[in-house]
Amino acid sequence: MKQMAIVICNYNYERFIAEAIDSSLNQDYPGTRVIVIDDGSTDGSRAIIESYGSRISAVFKENGGQVSAYNLGLELADTEYVLFLDSDDVLYPGAVSEVMRMFESSDVAKVQFRLDVIDLEGKQTGAYVPHSVPPTDCGTLLMGGWLYPSPPASGNAYCVRALKKLFPVPETAVNRYGADFYAIYGVALVGPVAMVPRSLGAYRVHQRANESSVSFANSEQLTKAPKAFKARWATLRELARARLNRELPMSFHDFAHEKAYFCSNLYQAPLTTRWRWAINESYDYRYSIVANPFWSLKKKAGTLFLSSLCLLPYSPLSNYVVRYITNPLARRSAAVER
């Protein structure tokens, strides 16, 4: 029987780590191994992790960031497949079995699946990610500069052999985080990607599920994420060139990336600033919609229409539209209120 390693990378998440470990140990696939890497936590995480004894493999290391944890996890995972689970997320029972069926029925480098969005207390919000289904040959689109739709880190399982063609990723002072970026997108350059079209786990957001929030991702502030993505793309280009002999374009296209710029430029901005952005700076945002290879014509038209409402001289409407576009939880909140 082929083996799957669930590698849980933890840093100061004593509040959630037990739930992540329990969800991994409760998998019904008999070839599942659970590895927990604690990246120098200073809270009570260590005692919780140690309480599981021999049921898991635990490693306690000095703080080095997500890249160092992924590098070590892949080194320790002496299995055919690996899933990196964030320590504040959970897997549903049967997730590994479902993923392994997909691996065994097709020769793919990665299997991804939807994640339900839960709040801090673990309550379902009604949202899930991603909403678009990528094609099997994501590598061709990546070579054209398009980041394909993918769930966050916990919704991806990899063929270890494929992932090791790109990893280990260089560990530098400016490259401590974003290991999931290199894994999610880089592995598509090695082999096909498959998707299970239903939720097999849950992604926890630390923002409140209310209409006033524009932030959705946990790892970085909305204004910092675009710059971080550009730096990671540059690193991925170097890895692809050096290890795979493949040349990625200088820049990439991705609506999730562009909507962060959209938000930072338009949210709570005066009318003149909104129009200045639309006239002078909105090309990449519009291109990520119009040329998007994953979206239907209806979705493209709807997103363009909503975006245009931000140019009306009524700031409450503009701010509402920005929240609606950038944060799926705001959409859910609005639906509940109606």
CA distances for 11 relative to 146, 173, 222, 254, 315, angstroms: 31, 17, 21, 29, 40
CA distances for 151 relative to 214, 239, 321, angstroms: 19, 22, 24
| Count of CB atoms situated within 10 Å of the CB of 124 | 13
Q: Hey, what domains does the chain have and what are their CATH numbers? A: 4-208 (3.90.550.10), 255-337 (no CATH)
The structure tokens listed for 94 are 């049967």
The structure tokens listed for 314 are 């009524």
Reading the chain (338 residues) residue by residue, the pLDDT tens digits are 899 999 999 999 999 999 999 999 999 999 999 999 999 999 999 999 999 999 999 999 999 999 999 999 999 999 999 999 999 999 999 999 999 999 999 999 999 999 999 999 999 988 899 988 888 899 999 999 999 999 999 999 999 999 999 999 999 887 899 999 999 999 999 999 999 999 999 999 886 544 455 555 554 455 566 678 889 999 999 999 999 999 999 999 999 899 988 998 999 999 999 999 999 999 999 999 999 999 999 999 999 999 999 999 999 999 999 999 988 776 655 443 43
d(CA 333, CA 306) in angstroms, rounded, equals: 17
Label the pairing between strands 156-159 and 90-91.
unpaired
DSSP 147: P
d(CA 132, CA 293) in angstroms, rounded, equals: 10
d(CA 278, CA 310) in angstroms, rounded, equals: 9
d(CA 263, CA 260) in angstroms, rounded, equals: 5
**Single-letter amino acid code for the residue at 99:** V
> Nearest Cα to 149, choosing from 113, 202, 95?
113
**Single-letter amino acid code for the residue at 35:** I
Beta bridge partners of 90: 202
H helix or E strand, kind and range, residue 200 = strand 193-204
The pTM of this model reads 0.91
